Amino acid sequence: MNSRRGGVSRSRAESDAQRRENARAVWRAQSRALGRSATRAAPQGADSTARPDGEDALAPQERDDGWREVVVGLSLRRAEEFSLVLQARDVEHMLRQTGRNTVIVSPAHEAVRAREELDAYVAENRRGLASLSPPPDTRSAIVPVGFFLGLLIPFHLLTLQVLPRQGWYPHIWRQQGRADAGLIWAGEWWRAATALTLHADAGHLLGNVAVGTIFGAVLCAELGLGAGLLLMLLAGILGNLVNAAVLGPDHLSIGFSTAVFGAAGCIAGLRAVAGPYSGLRGGFVPLAAGLGLTAMLGTGGENTDLGAHIFGFLVGVPLGVAAGRATNRMGMPGRALDAGLLVTALALPVLAWMLAFT
């Protein structure tokens, strides 16, 4: 708790450290006695059954035994940090292990005070309420996001090299699928989606897959794989539509970069309402960072579609804000819902290409 300003004295800090070690020793002893390796004992009479994975981020709830969940979905390290805060304020509480995460519970008459103390602590340290949640595990999202974005590579080889050489739709994939603003104005809205799957060359393709995987992994770690990919795709589609509307009927565009910068905008919007700088004033920090990133990565090269990058980012921001508010209220999507969102994200470009050839 070295970040607490004007807080507990050194003697109190040493006392807290000793209490922390004592609590750990009791926890380990109880765990060994009960045959559990990493579960702290629940209050007497509490339901010790952990919720299934994916349900740890639910809002705090009243328990049947008179204890109330104060903060849920914490890593063990963060839970112990908050436990020290509550100990210093003499607030009765206990840690419970639920799946891979930890929950802080307090008696019903102490729950409101416990939450207020933790809110004050994170506000004092300029972390925002989102610091009560575990940081997203971006590394676990890299592989699945990279796999799905990597599907653009065989699509590129198949449609622009293999099939044209066999005489199947030679030279028309790009004409049928590019974001031709004039045709989009005429009603061929699906071009805003098909254009995301087309690339000028291998360098264009691999760059978008690589950078898109990074941004997509961050977004999917925050929202779930299906929700993150769908939001990224929607930002790209809407960004292409806005780009066509602003730049006029002669504009042509291809590439997944609109969705890549749309993901950057989604992340900025998400962090503005659910991150360490959340709030009206602090929300400008992630937005400014996102705009700076767009300026650095999205303005180079004579063939760069700057409008697509800018509008992708700008469209992504409100999508991220909406997603952040939704997760703040309802938590991340459950497994079934997230799987449905993933199927929707994969089906959208397929449907768009079917419309392109009908």
Dump pLDDT digits (tens) for 195-211: 999 998 888 899 899 99
Domains delineated in the chain: 10-132 (3.30.70.1530), 138-356 (1.20.1540.10)
Handedness of CA 159, 311, 344, 189 (dihedral sign): negative
Q: Is the pLDDT of residue 41 over 50?
A: no
How many C-beta neighbours within 10 Å does residue 202 have? 11
The pLDDT mean for the chain works out to: 77
d(CA 11, CA 48): 35
Q: Is the pLDDT of residue 58 over 80?
A: no
217 or 305, which is more confident? 217
Handedness of CA 157, 160, 166, 169 (dihedral sign): positive
Q: What is the mean pLDDT of residues 333-337?
A: 89
Quick check: pTM over 0.75? no
Range of lowest pLDDT (68-82, 174-188, 327-341): 68-82
Dump pLDDT digits (tens) for 78-97: 788 888 889 888 889 999 88
Per-residue pLDDT band for 184 (boundaries 50, 70, 90) equals very high
57 or 77, which is more confident? 77
At residue 200, the pLDDT reads 86
The partner residues of 95 in beta bridges, in order of sequence, read: 104
Q: What is the mean pLDDT of residues 110-131?
A: 72
Give whole-number Cα distances, 132 to 88, 218, 343, in Å: 18, 18, 31
Q: Is the pLDDT of residue 162 over 90?
A: no
What type of residue is 296?
M
Per-residue pLDDT band for 37 (boundaries 50, 70, 90) equals very low
Angle between helices 225-247 and 335-356 (to 10 degrees): 40
Dump pLDDT digits (tens) for 239-278: 999 999 999 899 999 999 999 999 999 998 888 886 555 5
Per-residue pLDDT band for 7 (boundaries 50, 70, 90) equals very low
Q: What is the mean pLDDT of residues 10-33?
A: 51
Q: Is the pLDDT of residue 74 over 70?
A: yes
Q: What are the two backbone dihedrals, phi and then psi, of residue 74, each rounded to the nearest 5 degrees?
A: -95, 150
286 or 314, which is more confident? 314
At residue 276, the 3 state secondary structure works out as coil
Contact 132, 57 (CB under 8 A): no
How many C-beta neighbours within 10 Å does residue 7 have? 14
Closest CA to 87 of 154, 134, 17, 38: 17
Q: Is the pLDDT of residue 9 over 50?
A: no
Q: Is the pLDDT of residue 230 over 50?
A: yes
Closest CA to 274 of 292, 288, 265, 286: 286
